[in-house]
Structure 1
Amino acid sequence: MRGTNILVLSPDPADQMYNGRWRDILEQLTTSLQHFGIEVSHAAWTRDLRMVPHRPQLVLPLLAWGYQRAHEQWLDTCKDWQRHQIPVHNPPDVLQWNSDKSYLKTLAEKGAPVVPSLYFDEISTSRLRESLSYFDVDRVVLKPTVSATAYKTSIWEAGQLISDPPEGSCIVQPYLRSIETEGEISLIFISGQYSHGLRKTPVAGDFRVQPEFGGRLTHHEPDQSAISTATKILETIGTSLLYARIDLVLNQNNEWALLEAELIEPDLFLGLDHKNGHMLGEAILNRINGQDIEQEKQMT
C-alpha cells in the first residue's frame, strides 16, 4: 500500500532524552516498515498534532521518551488526543493508565502474576525496613511510580542511606537475584500475538539491564511457560493493543512474574526480530484499514 503514512512521537527537544539513542531505533523502525510502503515521520510528543503537515493515518508514541519528567503534561496531552480523535495507538486511555506503575497493583488484584510490590506516597527509611521484613529479603528495589529507563531506581539494604530517592509516590519490590544470573526477558506482542523475544542481562555489579547502563541484549526464544504467563497478563489488561512488550523475571519461587508491561514507548527491538518487523507492518496496515476493529467485533 503506497501513500500510507504514520507519525512516530519522539522526545521533546528540551528533554535530556532527546540526546539518547532514539534516532537509531527510529531508523530501524523506518527500515522495517518501508517494505510495506509505509512512510514514517516523527515529531515531539509535546507538539500539537493537529498542526503537523500531512495528517498521519496513525500515530505511534513509541519514542515519546521523557514523559516521566512532565507527567501532568503527558496526562493532559493524552486527553487532548482523545478529545480531538487523533489516531494514536496504543489508545490514549491506555497511555494514561500505563504511565503510572500503580497499574501493577490493578493487574495483581485481578490475578495476574506480578512481582510483589508495596506502594507508598513517599519513602522513608522506616518504610524500607518494613519492606525488608514484609518480603523477607535483605535488599529491595526502590523506584518512582512514574519512571522509565531506571529513572531514580536504586537498591537499598539496611544500614544504607537512600541514594537519589524518588520524590513523591514510589514502589518497592524485593530484589530478585535471578536478575544477576538469568537477567530479564522481554516478549513482544503485536495485535495480541507473540512476535519475538529477547534476554537483557546487566553488566557485572549492576542490576539495570537497559543498554544505557551497559545491559547486554540477545535474541531469546522463551519457553511455553513464559509465553503463557505473558499471554495471561495481556488477557488481564483486556484491551486491544497494537503492540506490547511484557518484561518478565523469575521470582523467588522460580516462576515467571511481570516486572513491567510496556505499552507506551517500548523499544520493540526489531533488530532482534527474525521476521524483520513483518508482524508490526501488517498490524499497522490492518489498524489503519479498520480490520483489527472488525476482527475484535467478530470475536465478541
Structure 2
Amino acid sequence: MHYDVVVLTDHKLLQLNDGDWYSKQVHTEDQLVCTALEKLGLKVGRKDWAEPGYDWQQCRSAVFRSTWDYFHRFAEFSTWLAQVGQCTRLFNEAGLIHWNIDKHYLGVLAERGINIVPTVYVERGDARSLAHVVADTGWDELILKPVISGAARHTYRFAAGDSEQHECVFGELTGQEAMMLQPFQHAILEQGELSLMVIDGQYTHAIRKTAKAGDFRVQDDHGGTVHRFEPDAEEILFAEAAVAAVPFDVLYARVDLIRDNDGQLAIMELEMIEPELFFRFCPEAADKLAAGIARRLA
C-alpha cells in the first residue's frame, strides 16, 4: 500500500494493549499525529520501522515517533537508516539522526555558543583509569554514561572518591564504546528536568519531569513523573536558540534543560530522533508537526 507518511514505531508498541497504560499512552500520542496528518489530506500508515519485507519505496515519507528499541538494535537500525533514507523522505532526516545519536553533538552546540552541562568525553580504547579521568575533571560528584544511549542505559551516578567501585564496568564499556562524564546537576533532585518542545523552529509546549524519591533518573521507565509546565520567556528563547544552532533542518526537537550548578540554563540533551513529544498535553502541537511535514513534502 502506498502512503504519504508512515508513522514509525517498534514491534512491541505496534498493537494496542488495552490493559497497559503505557501502550494506551503511546497509541494516544501516535494517533494525534496520524489524525493531524490525515486532516491535511495525506494518506497515513503506522508501522514497525523494522517490518520484514516492507518496500519503503511505497511511502513518500516516514516520521519517527515511538521507535524506542533502536538503541538496543543499533547495528540493524544503522543499516536500515542508510537503506531507507535513499528512497524515502525521513523526518527528522537521516543526517540529523546520525548526528544526534552520538552525544558528541553537545560539544558542537557549545562551540556555537549554547550553554551545555560540562562534558568530558572518554573515547573507545582510552587506557586511562576512571579514577585518573575523574581526578582531571575536579568534579566531586559525577554522571557516567555512553555517548550513544537512551532510557538511562549504563548511566551511573557516583562520588569522585568512589571511582574504584566502577573501574571494572568502566573498563568494559570503554573497550566497546565511547563514554562521557558530566558533573552531577543538583537541580535535578530539587527541580527535575524541563523539556520544551520545539516544532518547526518554534516552541509549542513544555513539561517538567521529576524523579521518584531516592532516584535521579527522570524517565518514567524508572518511576519518574511528568507534569505540565509553563516556561518563562528566557527558557523559551534558550530552547529555540539551541535548536537553531543545529546544522540540519529540524522538524521537531525536545529540548531537555536545567539550571546548572551555577544557576544558568544549560542543555542536558537535544532529542531529535524519536523523542516523546507529549502531544497529550498539547494536541495542537501535533497539527503543527503535520503542517511542517506537509510543507516539506510540497
- Above 0.5 in TM-score? yes
Kept in 2: contact 1:30–1:39 (CA 8 A): no
CA shift, 1:40, in A, is: 4.2
CA distance in 1 between partners of 2:235 and 2:125 (Å): 33
Q: Contact 2:4/2:61 (CA < 8 Å) preserved in 1?
A: yes
Secondary structure at 2:32 match in 1: helix
| Residue in structure 2 matched with residue 297 of structure 1 by the alignment | none
Distance verdict in 2 for CA 1:132–1:177, change over 3 Å: farther
Question: Contact 1:245–1:263 (CA<8 Å) still a contact in 2?
Answer: yes
1:199–1:219 CA contact under 8 A, matched in 2: yes
Check the 8 A contact 1:78/1:93 in 2, yes or no: no
Matched, 1:65 2:68: yes
- Once the two structures are TM-superposed, the CA of residue 39 in structure 1 deviates from its matched residue by 5.3
- Aligned residue in 2 for 1:189: 198
Give 1:82's match in structure 2, choosing from 80, 85, 91: 85
**Sequence identity of aligned pairs in percent?**
26
RMSD: 3.0
Instruction: Give the secondary-structure state (helix, strand or coil) at the position aligned to 1:8.
Output: strand
By how many angstroms is 1:123 displaced? 8.6
Q: 1:293: which partner in 2?
A: none
The answer on 1:29 being equivalent to 2:30 is: yes
Contact 1:188/1:196 (<8 A) preserved: yes
Question: 1:259: how far off?
Answer: 0.7
Deviation at 1:51, TM superposition (A): 1.4
Report what 2:17 is aligned to: none
What is the deviation of 1:125?
A: 11
What is the alpha-carbon distance in structure 1 between the residues aligned to residue 197 and residue 157 of structure 2? Answer: 27
User: What is the CA-CA distance between 1:271 and the residue it aligns to?
Assistant: 0.9
Moved over 4 A (4+): 122-127, 130-135
Check the 8 A contact 2:56/2:84 in 1, yes or no. no
Q: Which residue in the other structure is 1:146 paired with?
A: 148
Gap change, CA 1:255 and 1:22, over 3 Å in 2: farther
SS of corresponding position for 1:7: strand
Q: What's the offset of the Cα at 1:261? A: 0.6
User: Does the Cα contact within 8 Å between 2:97 and 2:272 map onto a contact in 1?
Assistant: yes
Q: Structure 1: which amino acid aligns with 2:60?
A: Q
Distance 1:125 1:82, change over 3 A: closer
Q: Which moved more, 1:195-204 or 1:116-125?
A: 116-125
Q: Which residue, out of 240, 244, 259, partners 2:253?
A: 244
Contact 2:257 2:269 in 1 (8 A): yes
Partners of 1:10 and 1:22 within 8 A in 2: no
Match of 2:139 in 1: 137
Pair 1:276–1:191, CA change in 2 (3 A): closer
TM-score (norm 1): 0.83
Spell out the pairing of 1:115-264 with structure 2 (5 A cutoff): 115-122=117-124, 127-157=129-159, 158-159=161-162, 161-162=165-166, 165=170, 166=173, 167-264=176-273
CA displacement, residues 198-232 of structure 1 (integer Å, 9 cap, x when unaligned): 10010111111011111110111111111121122
Once the two structures are superposed, the pairs formed by residues 40-55 of structure 1 within 5 Å of their partners are 40-47=44-51, 51=55, 55=58
8 A Cα contact 1:192 1:240, kept in partner: no
For residues 234 and 52 of structure 1, do their structure 2 counterparts lie closer, same or farther at Cα, with a shift above 3 Å needed?
Answer: closer
Which residue matches 2:94? 92
Alpha-carbon distance between aligned partners in 2 of 1:8 and 1:263, rounded to the nearest angstrom: 15
Whole-Å Cα distance in 1 between the matches of residues 294 and 4 of structure 2? Answer: 10
Mapped to 1, the partners of 2:275 and 2:142 lie a distance apart of 25
* Structure 1: gaps of 5 or more residues: 14-18, 290-300
Distance in 1 between residues matched to 2:59 and 2:115, nearest whole Å:
37
Distance in 1 (CA, whole Å) between partners of 2:295 and 2:3 is 12
CA distance in 2, matches of 1:47, 1:138: 46
> 2:158, 2:128 → 1: CA distance?
12
CA distance in 2, matches of 1:136, 1:20: 43
Letter in 2 for 1:26: H
**Distance across 1 between alignment mates of 2:238 and 2:285:** 25
- Residue 293 of structure 2 aligns to a residue whose secondary structure is helix
